[in-house]
Amino acid sequence: MIILAIETSCDETSASVLKSTGGRLELLSNVVSSQIDIHKQYGGVVPEVAARHHVQNINPVIMEALETAKIKPQKLSYLAVVSGPGLITSLIVGVEAAKALSVAWQKPLINVNHMYSHIAGNFLSKVEFPAVCLVVSGGHTELVLLKNYSQFKKIGQTVDDAAGEAFDKVAKLLGLGYPGGPAVALKATEFLISNFQFSKISLPRPLINSGDFNFSFSGLKTAVLYTAQKMKKKELEQRTSEICYEFQQAVVDVLVGKTMKAAQKHKVKTVLMAGGVAANKKLRESLRESVEAKGLKFGVPEFRLCTDNAAMVAIAGYYLAKKKRPSRDDWKKVKVNPNWELK
């Protein structure tokens, strides 16, 4: 099976070719054209600007993915595209391109949920089920219980801001720029390197003992704001890295704590992680340590497959195609759904 996948849910235009031989998956290409440098100047993603760049980039990115993979369109088994959740103006570019190619090349189109594609970033190697996956991105924070590669159930989610959103907002209020996650993580590391002591700042760990699997990060962000407001300009400059360290630790404590409770309650064999925030080194190390201490398996995609990319969409497409054989008319049913929630 050879799949060409397309991803345009936010500010990355991406296309990837995946080949499966007897169940062994091989990524032949994964082209990602990021707009981060463009949106940086606005302090966040501007939907209309993102859409215009997707329109410019989509054909060259798809062609590059095919050329790198050395695959002619006739050789493809299926196309796959993300139709939600995400920014409607961005999604529509990838979805319409995929539909047009489905009709022109006579290849069935597989409709992929963006959050499921993040989870599928873990499926390049074999997973022992049942598994629980912590999905942490810019727009979502969820715990998903997996029975197998394509059957799953959401067991908890954020009641307000997503973890990535909190990183981005904290970075903005501390003047660290966009995207916030890597900037805050870098500052936190700086604190660790220059101080062989614990942070004297204490921030809350929201909902850590709530007894359910929900999250809340809005109050934590506000606590950072109040902490920063109490400091004089010079003190804030000197202690920004300390605030970042404590903020990152608070997010990690909550995410790891709840994921481990879910793993225990549902007696899983494997704990997985996915989404842009899964690129955070501290979170990766802390979750791995806790999971392995319990004798469970741990999985997280390599860095480039954590933030938005089409390779994870191709992998998701592969498992969806195995579950239900796609047909050439499927493109007619694919509609952009910016609020498509995992059930």
x/- string (CB under 5 A) for Zn ion, residues 137-176? x---------------------------------------
| 213 interacts with, out of ligand KG4, Zn ion, none, CB within 5 to 8 A per kind | none
Q: How far is CA 193 from CA 165, 203, 261, in A?
A: 26, 21, 31
Q: Which stretch binds Zn ion (CB under 5 A): 34-42, 133-141, 202-210, 288-296?
A: 133-141
Find residue 33's DSSP bridge partners: 13
Q: Which stretch binds ligand KG4 (CB under 6 A): 65-73, 164-172, 197-205, 288-296?
A: 164-172
Q: Which two three-digit tokens encode residue 216? A: 């809340």
Instruction: Quickly list DSSP for 212-267.
Output: SS-B--HHHHHHHHHHHHTS-HHHHHHHHHHHHHHHHHHHHHHHHHHHHHHHHHTT
- Determine which residue in the list 165, 246, 308, 330 makes contact with Zn ion, applying CB under 5 A: 308
| 277 interacts with, out of ligand KG4, Zn ion, none, CB within 5 to 8 A per kind | ligand KG4
- Nearest approach, Cβ of residue 143 and Zn ion (Å): 16
Distance of CA 164 to the CA centre of its chain: 9
Q: 66 or 336: whose CB is closer to Zn ion?
A: 336
- Footprint (CB under 5 A) of Zn ion, residues 254-293: none
Q: Give the angle 232-237-239 at the CA atoms, nearest 5°.
A: 90
| 319 interacts with, out of ligand KG4, Zn ion, none, CB within 5 to 8 A per kind | none
Whole-number Å distance between alpha carbons of 29 and 7 = 13
191 makes contact with ligand KG4 (CB under 6 A): no
Q: 142 or 308: whose CB is closer to Zn ion?
A: 308
Number of chain positions touching ligand KG4 (CB under 6 A): 19
Whole-number Å distance between alpha carbons of 188 and 176 = 12
30 makes contact with Zn ion (CB under 5 A): no
- Nearest approach, Cβ of residue 174 and ligand KG4 (Å): 13
10 Å CB burial of residue 77 (0-12, 13-18, 19+) is middle
307 makes contact with ligand KG4 (CB under 6 A): yes
- Nearest approach, Cβ of residue 303 and ligand KG4 (Å): 9
- Nearest approach, Cβ of residue 98 and ligand KG4 (Å): 18
94 makes contact with ligand KG4 (CB under 6 A): no
138 makes contact with ligand KG4 (CB under 6 A): yes
Q: Which two three-digit tokens encode residue 40? A: 């940086």
Number of chain positions touching Zn ion (CB under 5 A): 2
11 makes contact with Zn ion (CB under 5 A): no
Whole-number Å distance between alpha carbons of 220 and 204 = 6
- Determine which residue in the list 152, 167, 247, 318 makes contact with ligand KG4, applying CB under 6 A: 167
Cα Rg of the chain, angstroms: 20
Q: Which stretch binds ligand KG4 (CB under 6 A): 161-169, 263-271, 290-298, 320-328?
A: 161-169
The secondary structure of residue 128, as a DSSP letter, is P
Instruction: Work out whether strand 270-274 and strand 131-136 pair parallel, antiparallel, or are unpaired.
Output: parallel
> At a CB cut-off of 8 Å and minimum separation 6, what does 268 contact?
129, 130, 131, 132, 145, 262, 296
Binding site for ligand KG4 (CB under 6 A): 10, 137-139, 164, 167-168, 179-182, 185, 275-277, 279-280, 307-308
Binding site for Zn ion (CB under 5 A): 137, 308
